[in-house]
Structure 1
Amino acid sequence: MQESKLKNYLLLHLIVFIWGFTAILGALINLDAIPLVWYRMSLAVIFIVLYFIFRKKSFKVDKKGLVKFFVTGVVIALHWVFFFKAIKVSNVSVALVTMSTGAFFGALIEPVFFRRRIKSLEIVLGLVVIFGLYIIFNFESQYQLGIFYALISSFLSALFAVLNGLFIKKYTAEIISLYQLFFGVLCITIYLLVTNSFSVAFFNISTSDWMYLLLLSSICTAYAFIASVQVMKYISPYTVMLTVNLEPIYAIILALFIFGDKEKMNPEFYFGAFIVLFVVLLNGIIKNKTVIRNKLKEKAVRKK
């Protein structure tokens, strides 16, 4: 049992490392954001379909589910487009630190869908995060557009996560992922057709870019998703939450090694980044303690 837990914990770190590497690949691939997302989602759909066939899983889903997955497929597609746009116009470090604000966008969006009050603590922590971003924005003015794109991406990511929190109660994670990716790439395909963006140049991709795209769509998208679902069966949500917060740290360290001077920032950036990441981590710890406290209370009530 202990050996299995350790194995899955190490696998979780590998998954988080892979997620962080996604941003690195986005910077390495010589494609604009929209074509990059189109290739990523298209290839990921193929890999997940192959997974379904191999595992003999059913593709069936009800009509209401298809409508839900269509809407969220568009959301996830836009999320990735703005995410890679942020990397292209700034760098990996700026994009990922700004993306860490997703937890606080989620804190504002979640009450709307789950019909609960916004907690004052979440507002306070959110304001501290804004202060951290202000420091970055003020001292790294050349990356303002990248920060703006990353904030949009972060908001869409939070919206996507909250909606999936509703869907997971009825549908499997594999079904949700497959149809969201499919509808996302379908919408991008329609956009590319309408704007006459499909051309010989669109499909003229270098060998290195093909290698990076295959790695991005298979390992960083299809595999990481399926593996993350599997890991959560053995590891507590608290451990998962703490580990996932290491993603921007892994990615920033990787980016410094791979891109060198392009990723070196002013000391003020790292101060602002520390504030953002620390508050995100603190928020996760506080929320987890609240969940544990509520569960203990429920158990105590049941015993009575």
Structure 2
Amino acid sequence: MSRPNSPTALPPISHGRALFYVHIVALFFGIVGVIGHLITAGAPAITLGRALCAVLTLICVGRLQRRPILGVLTPAQIFVLIVTGCLLAAHWVTFFQGVKTGGIAVATLGFASFPAFTILLEAVLLREHTRKAEWLTVALVTLGLILVTPAFNLADQGTIGLGWGVLSGLCFALLALSNRRGTVSMDPIQVACWQNVVVTLVMLPAAAGQLMGTSAWDWFWLAMLGVFCTGLAHFLFISSLAGIKASTAGTVIALEPVYGIAFAWALFGQEPTPRMLIGGAIVIAAIVWSGLRRSQVGLPPGPKKSKTKQIVP
């Protein structure tokens, strides 16, 4: 089968506009947990509804940008999309389960562990060279998560919620590495659209009945998740890369937990404890420092990685 069409290049934008775009993306990512908290449906139904709305949005974006949503795919590419779509579904279900169980702050900070998992997976699965500074990042994230843990008791809802968040971070790290290895030659909008199609198909058997019984308000919030926090966020992230480096964009997006915790505190009174604030600050600082350091020293040797293939949280 023939290769997919080459992605349509985005027009260059100013540095200031690119930074504005990526801050909007970080804001959208930050309110995902807030919206998940507002929706009364369970995590599987939220995941299905978000994916459905995201598919419709990404198809519209693809048509407006003349991007090859329906381009010809090879069997290998189809296999990668199925695997990564399943990982995306697992990431969303575990994250929203964390929000429902332990609250927005702990679930968001648990998910923020994904850069540490990425470093570990690169070392263990991909056999890539890991520098001492990267192991320091893993250690700092681990310390931060220990401080964030509400209680070292598996019967505690906050601790269980943090566990779901950490599992979500692991799924996202696997997703990110799979995207970097398997979707380099594909258009990022096409990748996002078909992965959400896979999420929809995977979640239909388990969540279709629950989704049909959701209220009008739940559908409104699901549309917000799919349209703004997934489809539009993905488009703005890709657009921002026409004006700033991918490492800069990643560093800004690392502020996502700050937005999530701030909104949870302001809207629902989920005030973090001083210990949680210290632990969260350590996690976020480690992520930002790691991103800045990688942008300065370059990525470890290995296959070329695509800067536009990161799927939105």
The answer, yes or no, to whether TM exceeds 0.5 is yes
Pick from 157, 160, 169: which aligns with 1:154?
A: 169
Shift of residue 128, structure 1, vs aligned partner: 2.3
Shift of 1:140: 7.6
Question: More deviation in 39-48 or 81-90?
Answer: 39-48
Q: Select 2:141's aligned residue among 129, 133, 150.
A: 129
> Does the 8 A contact of 1:98 with 1:151 survive in 2?
yes
Q: Is the 8 A contact 1:100 1:154 kept in 2?
A: yes
Q: In the alignment, residue 281 of structure 1 is paired with which amino acid? A: V
Counterpart residue type for residue 92 of structure 2? W
1:71 is the counterpart of 2:88: no
Q: Take 2:169 and 2:62, find their aligned partners in 1: how far apart are those partners? A: 30
Q: Determine what percentage of the aligned residue pairs are the same residue.
A: 22
1:224 alignment partner AA: A
Of residues 207, 211, 217, the one that matches 2:216 is: 207
Which residue does 1:175 correspond to in 2? Answer: 190
Q: How far did residue 35 of structure 1 move?
A: 0.6
Q: What is the CA–CA distance in structure 2 between the aligned matches of 1:80 and 1:156, rounded to whole Å?
A: 9
TM-score, L = length of structure 2: 0.85
Q: Check conservation: 1:140, 1:269, Cα contact below 8 A.
A: no
CA–CA separation in structure 2 for the residues paired with 1:122 and 1:232: 25
Stretch moving more, 241-250 or 27-36: 241-250
Show the counterpart of 2:55: 45
**Higher Rg:** 1
Superposition deviation, residue 114 in structure 1: 4.5
RMSD, aligned CA: 2.3
Q: 1:216 aligns with which of 225, 231, 236?
A: 225
SS of 1:41 mapped into structure 2: helix
Work out the CA distance in 2 between the residues paired with 1:288 and 1:202: 42
Give 2:275's match in structure 1, choosing from 265, 268, 275. 268
TM-superposition CA deviations, 1:1-42 (whole Å, max 9, x none): x98221221121111111111111111111100011011101
Q: Report the counterpart of residue 13 of structure 1 in structure 2.
A: 23
Give the 3-state SS of the residue equivalent to 2:107 in structure 1.
helix
Higher helix share: 1
SS in 1 for 2:292: helix
Size of the aligned set, in residue pairs, is 286
Per mean C-alpha deviation after superposition, the further-off stretch among 271-280 and 67-76 is 271-280
Do 1:139 and 1:268's aligned partners in 2 also have CA atoms closer than 8 Å?
A: no
The answer to whether the Cα contact below 8 Å between 2:80 and 2:183 also exists between their aligned partners in 1 is: no
Distance in 2 (CA, whole Å) between partners of 1:4 and 1:203 is 44
Unaligned runs of 5+ in 1: 295-304
Which residue among 231, 254, 268 is the counterpart of 1:245? 254
Cα deviations by residue, 1:126-177 (Å, 9 ceiling, x for unpaired): 1222122112225485311101111110001011011111234211101111
Q: Which amino acid aligns with 1:14?
A: I
One-letter code aligned to 1:158: A
Q: Deviations over 1:194-227 (max 9, x none)?
A: xxx644x541222211111111111111111111
The alignment status of 1:35 with 2:42, answered yes or no, reads: no
- The alpha-carbon distance between structure 1 residues 271 and 101, as it changes in their structure 2 partners (threshold 3 A), is same
Letter in 1 for 2:199: G
8 Å CA contact retained: 2:149, 2:159 = yes
- 1:111 and 1:25, CA in 2 relative to 1: closer, same or farther beyond 3 A? same
Distance 1:50 1:241 in 2: 26
Task: State TM-score, norm by structure 1.
Answer: 0.87
Cα distance between partner residues in 2 of 1:256 and 1:15? 20
